[in-house]
Amino acid sequence: MTGPAVTFDDIIAGLDRVGARNRRFIVHASLSSFGRVVGGADTVVDAVTQVGQAVLAATFTFCPAAVAPPDDRPKRNGADYDRDRLGDEDPTPFTPDLPAARPMGIVAETLRRRPEAVRSRHPLSSFAAIGRDADRYVAAHDWNAPMQPLQRLYDDGGYVLMLGTLLTSCTTIHLGEQHAGRCPFIRWAKVADGGIHRVRVGGCSDGFERLAPWIEGTAQTHVGRARVRMFSMAAAVEATVRRLAEDRHALVCPRRCRRCMDAADGGPQE
């Protein structure tokens, strides 16, 4: 049996319960996790942008990814170059209006499409932002620093808001991996001028949910069927660094994939 539809006021009340009011945060949201939401993704975006001082969302794109050049294939780069499909022979060039990849979710894509939203220019790992200092968070996004907008938010005492999602979507843990000394992976992407450029990206996140007990100060509630969690970025980064210092395989996914194993060894080696 389905419950009553979730309204804008329901979401606002839930955000207040976890302490989101007047915070700066990155949001990771699953619209379907709520059940039926009156107004759909627009209602969720309306709520988080009304409550938050600044709101970021990951708007990663996959279609600009290109195959690895034969003469540029670093070791320990989370890839079997002869087997893994790292990109297309003729990829789509990245432009700021390119839609976010489907796994980012309709809420992130809806936020990106808002007229007041600004988006960073990383061709594979972009972020969109609305609110106070939005331009500063996404400006001059270094292609070799995929989590740079999050680092800026972290420096400002930012938070992570999870709306019905697992930590497998929590990009701040990738930032924590970098604080622990891991290097982001190298990939190749096509940009608007038609060129193929080296960029850096995060790794596999399928093992990140096991970090949940280690993140201190997590506030939780439910809105509709969705579990809502909020915690400081500092708590997530500190938990990541602490766990990886104790066990470098602590966040390896159940498949023990190549990206996870190479990340555990420190990342690309050139």
- Residue 94 falls inside a structural domain: yes
**Containing structural domain, residue 188:** 8-264
Q: What is the pLDDT of residue 270?
A: 83
Interatomic CA distance for residues 11 and 34, integer angstroms: 10
Q: What is the pLDDT of residue 1?
A: 46
- Residue 53 falls inside a structural domain: yes
175, 155 Cβ separation under 8 angstroms: no
- Residue 3 falls inside a structural domain: no
226 — pLDDT class (breaks 50, 70, 90): very high
Q: Mapped to the 3 state alphabet, what secondary structure does 116-157 carry? A: CCEECCCCCCCEEEEECCHHHHHCCCCCCCCCHHHHHHHHCC
Q: What is the pLDDT of residue 3?
A: 79
The tally of domains found in the chain comes to 1
Q: What is the pLDDT of residue 59?
A: 98
* Per-residue pLDDT at 170 exceeds 90: yes
* Per-residue pLDDT at 126 exceeds 50: yes
153, 24 Cβ separation under 8 angstroms: yes
For the segment 183-211, what is each residue's pLDDT rounded down to a tens digit?
999 999 999 999 999 999 999 999 999 99
* Per-residue pLDDT at 2 exceeds 90: no
- Residue 199 falls inside a structural domain: yes
Interatomic CA distance for residues 40 and 147, integer angstroms: 29
Q: How high is the mean pLDDT of the chain?
A: 97
Distances 103 to 28, 61, 165, 192, 256 between C-alpha atoms, Å: 11, 9, 12, 23, 21
- Residue 218 falls inside a structural domain: yes
- Per the model's pLDDT, the better-predicted residue between 2 and 202 turns out to be 202
Residue among 162, 187, 125, 167 at smallest CA distance from 253: 167
User: Could you report how far apart the first and last alpha carbons of the chain are, in Å?
Assistant: 56
Predicted TM-score (pTM) of the model is 0.97
> Among 1-5, 140-144, 201-205, 242-246, which stretch is predicted with the lowest mean pLDDT?
1-5
| Section 63-79 average pLDDT | 96
- Residue 44 falls inside a structural domain: yes
- Residue 106 falls inside a structural domain: yes
Interatomic CA distance for residues 75 and 261, integer angstroms: 12
- Residue 87 falls inside a structural domain: yes
For residue 79, give both structure tokens.
């890839």
Q: What is the pLDDT of residue 85?
A: 84
* Per-residue pLDDT at 28 exceeds 80: yes
